[in-house]
């Protein structure tokens, strides 16, 4: 009891000290200034995660932001360290909008994914700092909660309808009411599914993707899911922009009878104009945006009500300052948010999205955000998951603390194998049977 009491007293003393440090950076005092901007580059569980840390000139006051762009991870690190850091040293941390505009507009060459992700890291770190200063979670700074918790969806896939149905039932047993399903055909998975090593023989040695076969299989999967499970579960599918506009429009029309929650990325950003034709021909809900970098891409689709869910990758559009504006624009036109959130978003990024979801009236659904294993050890304070929902803490800022010493033990490339490692984690090829490269 004496030992326990001493330990408790020591822990309480440390907590008081931490609170005293934070009290030095309260409202009413001169704004803290940016003292340093550093990058935490780590790869503990497959994806290369890039987290920016902004340190202020007030002891104990700092913040974290997500700049994760796995395909060009090293380039983002350089963009932060060599370009944004010299620009930002000495600037007051309370001028978040001004700093975002400075980074964005002063670059001249803008709306590219490398700089956008670098800006996101700084932007989200500044919001984390502001929440820590205010002593409240960031969602409170944006008007408070619109809901108690955040609805998420599960992923399942397979090479035949039975495998997919079994996966959907397993997800439902874990409390999910929304499931994204995928089909694997040949030597390549389509939209989240895992393909068996069978299927069409190509004129090359790489993965083969058969567009027609995969679309026919997906229609079979939806048919069997609705027959065996019914309409008590919401179904989604990621088309991943792998089809021609004609193929995509026909498939979206064919899916209308299955009453899907949404079809994701039926067209690539280069084919955005085709959404007018798609919308005029069917009512299947559409989610789009994970590859978007520029307002020129998302604004027409939202304003013309050509999509139902905006699906941007938050760091790809330059952080939560921009994402909040996208959400506000979308609300005016009846479009909901469904931010992109796979494993190549850091736990800091997932948490930032969670705060966006809580404070946005037009939130639809969230991908990912369930942090477990080594990631949960490294990024402490992430959301709790229960029965298909994510629950945020009321800790100031994002509520996430990064074990930087642990992160340093997992440098980029440490756990990559084969071709993926040789290509620096950034490339992959997907071809038709005749060898034509298509979008992934």
Q: Which residues are catalytic?
A: 185, 240
Q: What is the DSSP letter of 431?
A: B
Closest CA to 383 of 348, 342, 407, 359: 348
- The DSSP line for 325-386 is HHHHHHHHTTPEE----STTS-HHHHHHHHHHHHH-TTB--B------HHHHHHEETPPEEE
* Contact call for residues 346 and 313 (beta carbons, < 8 A): no
Handedness of CA 371, 195, 151, 348 (dihedral sign): positive
Closest CA to 285 of 193, 365, 190: 365
Q: What residues contact 301, with CB distance under 8 A and at least 6 apart?
A: 272, 275, 288, 289, 307, 310
Q: What is the DSSP letter of 272?
A: G
C-alpha 47 chain-centroid distance: 13
What distance separates the 2 farthest-apart alpha carbons in the chain? 75
Residue 311 to residue 366: CA distance in whole angstroms: 9
* Contact call for residues 186 and 209 (beta carbons, < 8 A): yes
E strand spans, 145-253: 150-151, 154-158, 178-185, 188-190, 234-238
- The DSSP line for 38-105 is EEEEE-SSSSPEEEEEEEESSTT-EEEEE---GGGHHHHHHIIIIIIHHHHTT-BTT-HHHHHHHHHH
* Contact call for residues 66 and 54 (beta carbons, < 8 A): no
């Amino acid at each position: 009891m004496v030992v326990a009491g001493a330990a408790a007293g020591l822990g309480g003393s440390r907590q008081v000290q931490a609170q005293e440090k934070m009290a030095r950076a309260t409202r009413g005092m001169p704004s803290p200034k940016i003292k340093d901007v550093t990058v935490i580059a780590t790869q503990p569980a497959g994806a290369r995660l890039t987290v920016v840390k902004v340190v202020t000139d007030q002891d104990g006051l700092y913040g974290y932001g997500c700049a994760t762009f796995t395909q060009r991870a090293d380039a983002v690190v350089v963009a932060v360290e060599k370009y944004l850091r010299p620009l930002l040293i000495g600037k007051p941390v309370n001028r978040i909008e001004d700093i975002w505009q400075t980074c964005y507009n002063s670059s001249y060459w803008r709306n590219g994914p490398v700089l956008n992700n670098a800006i996101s890291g700084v932007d989200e770190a500044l919001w984390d700092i502001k929440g820590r200063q205010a002593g409240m979670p960031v969602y409170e700074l944006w008007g408070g909660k619109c809901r108690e918790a955040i609805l998420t969806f599960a992923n399942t896939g397979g090479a035949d309808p039975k495998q997919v149905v079994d996966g959907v039932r397993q997800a439902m047993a874990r409390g999910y009411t929304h499931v994204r399903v995928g089909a694997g055909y040949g030597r390549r998975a389509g939209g989240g599914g895992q393909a068996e090593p069978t299927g069409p023989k190509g004129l090359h040695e790489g993965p083969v993707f058969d567009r027609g076969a995969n679309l026919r299989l997906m229609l079979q999967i939806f048919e069997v899911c609705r027959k065996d499970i019914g309409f008590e579960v919401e179904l989604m599918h990621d088309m991943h922009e792998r089809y021609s506009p004609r193929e995509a429009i026909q498939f979206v029309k064919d899916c209308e009878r299955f009453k899907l929650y949404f079809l994701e990325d039926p067209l690539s950003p280069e084919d955005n104009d085709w959404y007018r034709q798609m919308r005029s021909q069917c009512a299947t809900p559409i989610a789009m945006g994970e590859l978007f970098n520029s307002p020129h891409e998302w604004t027409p689709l939202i304003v013309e009500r050509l999509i139902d869910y905006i699906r941007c990758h938050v760091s790809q559009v330059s952080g939560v300052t921009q994402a909040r504006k996208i959400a506000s624009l979308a609300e005016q036109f009846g479009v909901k948010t469904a931010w992109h959130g796979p494993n190549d978003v850091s736990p800091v990024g997932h948490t930032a999205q969670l705060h966006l979801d809580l404070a946005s009236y037009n939130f639809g659904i969230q991908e990912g955000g369930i942090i477990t294993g080594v990631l949960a050890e490294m990024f402490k304070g992430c959301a709790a998951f229960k029965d298909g929902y994510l629950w945020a803490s009321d800790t100031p800022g994002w509520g996430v603390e990064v074990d930087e010493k642990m992160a340093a033990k997992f440098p980029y490339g440490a756990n990559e194998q084969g071709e993926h490692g040789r290509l620096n984690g950034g490339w992959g090829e997907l071809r038709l049977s005749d060898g034509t490269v298509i979008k992934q």
